[in-house]
Amino acid sequence: MPIYHTLGSIPHKRHTQFRKPDGSLYAEELVSTEGFSSLYSLVYHAYPPTIVKELGEPYSVEPKIAREKHLKHTSLIGFNIKPEDDYLQSRKPVLVNSDLHISLAAPRKSMTDYFYKNSQADEVIFIHEGTGTLKTGFGKLKFEYGDYLVIPRGTIYQMEFDGEQNRLFIVESFSPIRTPKRYRNQYGQLMEHAPYCERDIKRPTDLETHDEKGDFKILIKKQGLIYPYIYGTHPFDFVGWDGFHYPWAFSIHDFEPITGRVHQPPPVHQTFEGHNFVICSFVPRKFDYHPLSIPAPYNHSNVDSDEVLYYVDGDFMSRKHVVKGQITLHPGGIPHGPAPGSVEKSIGKEFTEELAVMIDPFRPLMLTEDAVNIEDENYYKSWIS
């Protein structure tokens, strides 16, 4: 997200001497993306960020593919993913391709005895249930129902939950997560027609410098493996930082819907973009106001992309028997549309309370073993009157 931000103490000029009260130097680190050609931040540590005391054996967390190729409308009952105490163990990948992994998680406990770094993917964590704090060296981000937490790759973090009732919808993107290009002007500022603006973005606060030595376990994900590292200094030893590369949050409740006289296409709901996929937000909004409008979405033939819809809350006028946490996958190649009877029923309606997250990937998604375990096998028949 191209917004400059800074916390803590930093020197007047970068790459110059910045000394501690005892006269020794703080350790400067450049955290850069796409080599040296994209977003970056400069971080100042109490200790060099390179002090590794021990390296454990890596273990695989690669998704186990159950259905690589398929042409079947699919529904997953997401809340059937069972809660687990540990945050990482609770993350269950359900839909994956070479551009992104979509996971569900129901962690009960906060991360207290280890830290986590995804070094291969940006993460977008949608908070469906629960509240808490994302803790990083960049500062703290409080989160609640409806927040998208955007955590750029390489960020070491801990999730601190206020309670045990937590439900997360997670997207791992192997390309940077950005605001849609058409929403930004040539300087990167969000324009007037965008459905949200910079003041809606929540940035880290309350930088705490952990000037600590010891044994600090950091689990680092790279190419489907978790590498257990033991560092000799606390990873949140930042005394200050500045730049454009840091975790941030945006609430789906702050997304301002774009409406029209007739039914608007899904791109008006776009919230973020990655390489070969987009993330959209469906929020409460006024329906179309043409006197002959049909509020229900028209039948749509997916030709170039799959379509994933994650149901969050509210009343979905296009489909009956929807439950919270349900995921529908409509693969490219066959049409889908409103459930029988919902088109006629929608006429005359003025408002919808639906809340959902949609992902359109441009490469086919594969289903994992965790996905088929929560599949509604008869969903593809739901268009039969």
Confirm whether 323 is domain-assigned. yes
Cα separation, 265 vs 331, in Å, equals 18
Cα separation, 298 vs 225, in Å, equals 43
Q: Convert the pLDDT of each residue in 322-339 to its tens digit.
A: 899 999 999 999 999 888
Confirm whether 223 is domain-assigned. no
Confirm whether 343 is domain-assigned. yes
Cα separation, 232 vs 53, in Å, equals 6
Binding residues for homogentisate, by number, are 336
Question: Is-catalytic flag, 275?
Answer: no
> Total structural domains in the chain?
1
Confirm whether 330 is domain-assigned. yes
Binding residues for Fe cation, by number, are 300, 306, 336
Tell me the pLDDT band of 319, cut-offs 50, 70 and 90. low
**Nearest CA to 205 among 135, 153, 254?**
135
| Structure token pair of residue 83 | 């809660």
Confirm whether 296 is domain-assigned. yes
DSSP for 82-143 reads PPBSSHHHH-EEEEE-SSEEEEEE-B-S---S-EEEESS-EEEEEEEE--EEEEETTEEEEE
pLDDT, greater one: 149 or 302 = 149
Confirm whether 309 is domain-assigned. yes
Q: Give residue 365's domain range.
A: 253-381
- The stretches of the chain forming alpha helices (DSSP H) are 87-90, 342-346, 369-372
Q: Convert the pLDDT of each residue in 357-382 to its tens digit.
A: 999 999 999 999 999 999 999 999 98
Can you give the CATH number for the domain in which 260 is found? 2.60.120.10
Confirm whether 227 is domain-assigned. no
Cα separation, 37 vs 33, in Å, equals 7
Cβ–Cβ < 8 Å for 73, 307: no
What is the model's pLDDT at position 320? 67
Cα separation, 146 vs 131, in Å, equals 10
Q: Which of 70, 253, 263, 275 is catalytic?
A: 263
Confirm whether 292 is domain-assigned. yes
| Structure token pair of residue 20 | 């501690």
Binding residues, by number, are 300, 306, 336
